Amino acid sequence: MTTGVRRRMGVEERRQQLIGVALELFSRRSPDEVSIDEIASAAGISRPLVYHYFPGKLSLYEAALKRASDDLAARFVEPREGPLGARLLRVMGRFFDFVDEHGPGFSALMRGGPAVGSSTTNALIDAVRQAAYVQILSHLDVQQPPARLELVIRSWISLAESTALIWLDGRRIPRAELEAQLVHDFAALAAVSAAYDEEMGALLRRILKDEPADGPFADLVGRIVALAS
């Protein structure tokens, strides 16, 4: 019979372990409700050892947030193949996967948490929004966006955030419906902007030209026509 020997972790390996443990706890409960003692216990180490790697809970929270923000930004990456509506629907599916997995942490971050207002936290949130913005521009195949297009995309990203927060509060609307609705919202915002600007009109016509009859954008048109009939 052999006795297992616990392997000693290196400094960076231990840091990454603590970040992973903290992220898991912050994902299940608001970071304000998670103590250093809980993090230490979950990691199988002492409280003083946690402080050896991180000066406090705020720095550990920011490190966990950095990992989460990198993960969230990656959810917007999608191959530029096929119609835009289907691509955006897949992006929204991955976005809500993240919200589902990290609900309390996502809510605490957006509504208020231990690191809200810090320069590090604000920079991480802005980086996710910028990554999403760049990805949507890539999907639209636009390098120099006009002012109205930038307004549409950034407004839509903010709408996705607020929709996710409302959904987390009781989950009263089926998730799949919200994912489709957000894709419809993007098309609606673009359509309203196109009504005021010919450049946006040309972009919208180019997008719709490649949309299939069974795609989410066509579904929106069908629903609007049904309302008017």
pLDDT in tens, 44-61: 999 999 999 999 888 888
Backbone angles phi, psi at 135, to 5 degrees: -65, -40
Task: Give mean pLDDT, residues 28-51.
Answer: 89
For residue 32, pLDDT beyond 70: yes
pLDDT digits (tens, 9 = 90+) for 70-125: 899 999 999 988 999 999 999 999 999 999 988 877 876 676 555 555 677 788 88
Residue 198: other Cβ atoms inside 10 A: 8
Give percent helix, percent strand, percent coil of the chain, each to the nearest 5.
75, 0, 25
Task: Give mean pLDDT, residues 158-185.
Answer: 95
Nearest to 36 by CA among 64, 11, 78: 64
The answer to whether 205 and 107 have CB atoms below 8 angstroms apart is no
Predicted TM-score of the model (pTM): 0.84
- The angle at the Cα of 220, spanning 167 to 136, to the nearest 5 degrees, equals 70
Q: What is the sign of the dihedral through the CA atoms of 103, 109, 115 and 121?
A: positive
pLDDT digits (tens, 9 = 90+) for 174-191: 999 999 999 999 999 999
Residue 23: pLDDT band (50, 70, 90) is: confident
CA distances (Å), origin 139, targets 94, 129, 200: 16, 15, 15
User: What is d(CA 222, CA 92) in angstroms, rounded to the nearest whole number?
Assistant: 21
User: What is d(CA 66, CA 127) in angstroms, rounded to the nearest whole number?
Assistant: 10
User: What is d(CA 204, CA 193) in angstroms, rounded to the nearest whole number?
Assistant: 9
In sequence order, the 6+-apart residues with CB closer than 8 A to the CB of 227 are none
Residue 24: pLDDT band (50, 70, 90) is: confident
